[in-house]
Structure 1
């Protein structure tokens, strides 16, 4: 079974936000070593939204290890002329498959609603470019974007959950997330699930929420992942939570959720 992580950060000589590992460097090679211990075959790298050279670090990793890494990068969309010039050829960069944005960075809180991102959506729609969003606070807005730009494959980060609340409380917007399943161009990264739980492994307090999301979106639009640097457990436990502990996730559905569906969604060729 191909196992592909839908989100991990790497960084070089940088201080990450407190919710992440407090180490100055977490390199591609560090990640590869952990992937080996957990049986993870591929990772979709997400340059940290707070790191100025994050795109460059991730692309360099994808170039060194093209069978292991691809990238969803980000642009300073508030610099309209600069970002517009880069957008046209964004995915021509080897290893770059699309974009991903967060809105918890000072100055970006209103990007989803204040027009900052408007010029990007048309280009992404024309190119059918995947776009990931940390959109817990903007889920209804995502529905409007999905309708207006139906050719954009959208990825909702971290189960559409609140990263700063424990257990079932983190799924306070679950009804809003499930409502997005009617849009065929919206998918969910089931990333960071272990970190949502307020109970020890196997985190039974979140199983029902995971099942509700899976039932709504199906195996072709649910993508396992971790956000590894934020996880309170081993990489292996992030894998086995899905491969061993969810009674309703078996067979072909499991194969899709653990990697194949993500690759199909973002245009990452499956191995021969």
Structure 2
């Protein structure tokens, strides 16, 4: 693994070698910033939400840090996991303890009229850098078209933090009025909207949002979406379409650890993106591996 990473690093650095001082192979390895993980811990101090089935294993910040170090991942954006619902206390504690390693995305109750004020508190007092909404395809997700959304999206724009959306292709059109009302708001669509590669029309709903310059996409869930074995050619054909329409500067990778453990362990999930973007130029590849996420969630690197 290390030798392969050194070869990759050398190939990326070669076009710039005449302009840079000599550095070690380790120093030229591609910078990796994971745009999408979750953390939780079975701890009485941070109880899971009532009615939620507690996970049978921990996925703590410390476990994540060990995996990051072992796989050359420099920084990570953590998304509040649904196990806690609207109680962001555990993730807030993680952000406080490891401010140089993580950025955090909170959850607020989209059906609560006080959600904008909760978002302000989480942003200004606890350091969160964004909010995640996840409307279902069913009637219980129709709040995304309801009267509580404009105030929440407007507050997000005022706070200058990203609005992150987990939703299917069927919900992409519902986002258009909210995006149009907030043209300066950064909006991030998770997991390519989970559009299926064998149903190309699904992806068109996501690609239609490329006309809005502040809409970004996580090219995550490649192994989950693919109907084929590694290297997931069908899903990477879809990745290419997304990058072609949005540009590398608006796309980023993410592991979705530990949810992704049902498909691959962390090291192999990192490798899926690190090792299979060879169809891109070196600069576009690095943009997806770290540049885009660093633009939206700056780490001060």
TM-score by length of 1: 0.87
Instruction: Say which of 227, 233, 245 aligns to 1:216.
Output: 245
| Residue 49 of structure 1, CA deviation | 2.7
Which residue does the alignment assign to 1:259? 290
Matched length: 262
Instruction: Say which of 103, 120, 135 aligns to 2:152.
Output: 120
The alpha-carbon distance between structure 1 residues 170 and 33, as it changes in their structure 2 partners (threshold 3 A), is: farther
Asked if 2 retains the 8 angstrom alpha-carbon contact of 1:46 and 1:73, the reply is yes
Show structure 1 runs of 4+ deviating over 6 A. Answer: none
Which residue does the alignment assign to 2:23? none
The alpha-carbon distance between structure 1 residues 246 and 32, as it changes in their structure 2 partners (threshold 3 A), is: same
Distance in 2, matches of 1:269 and 1:138, equals: 31
The alpha-carbon distance between structure 1 residues 171 and 193, as it changes in their structure 2 partners (threshold 3 A), is: farther
Q: Report 1:125-204 matches (<5 A).
A: 125-136=157-168, 137-162=170-195, 168-169=197-198, 172-204=201-233
Distance in 2, matches of 1:23 and 1:190, equals: 28
Distance in 2, matches of 1:95 and 1:169, equals: 40
SS of equivalent to 2:258: helix
The alpha-carbon distance between structure 1 residues 126 and 260, as it changes in their structure 2 partners (threshold 3 A), is: same
- 257-266 or 207-216, larger mean C-alpha shift: 257-266
| Residue 171 of structure 1, CA deviation | 5.7
SS of equivalent to 2:280: coil
Asked if 1 retains the 8 angstrom alpha-carbon contact of 2:33 and 2:74, the reply is yes
Distance in 1, matches of 2:80 and 2:67, equals: 18
Max Rg structure: 2
The alpha-carbon distance between structure 1 residues 175 and 107, as it changes in their structure 2 partners (threshold 3 A), is: closer
**Higher relative contact order structure (alpha carbons within 8 Å, sequence separation ≥ 6):** 1
Whichever structure has more helix as a proportion of its residues is: 2
Asked if 2 retains the 8 angstrom alpha-carbon contact of 1:159 and 1:190, the reply is yes
| Residue 99 of structure 1, CA deviation | 0.7
Distance in 2, matches of 1:50 and 1:178, equals: 31
- 179-188 or 132-141, larger mean C-alpha shift: 132-141
Q: Report 1:41-80 matches (<5 A).
A: 41-52=74-85, 54-80=87-113
Unpaired runs of 5+ residues, structure 2, are 1-29
Distance in 2, matches of 1:138 and 1:26, equals: 30
Cα displacement string for residues 36-89 of structure 1 (whole angstroms, at most 9, x for unaligned residues): 232211111111134246511112111111111110101123221x32332334
- 38-47 or 238-247, larger mean C-alpha shift: 238-247
SS of equivalent to 2:88: helix
Which residue does the alignment assign to 1:269? 299
SS of equivalent to 2:198: helix
The alpha-carbon distance between structure 1 residues 105 and 36, as it changes in their structure 2 partners (threshold 3 A), is: farther
Cα displacement string for residues 193-232 of structure 1 (whole angstroms, at most 9, x for unaligned residues): 2221222221112111000000111111101102122221
Distance in 2, matches of 1:229 and 1:220, equals: 26
Unpaired runs of 5+ residues, structure 1, are none
| Residue 102 of structure 1, CA deviation | 1.3
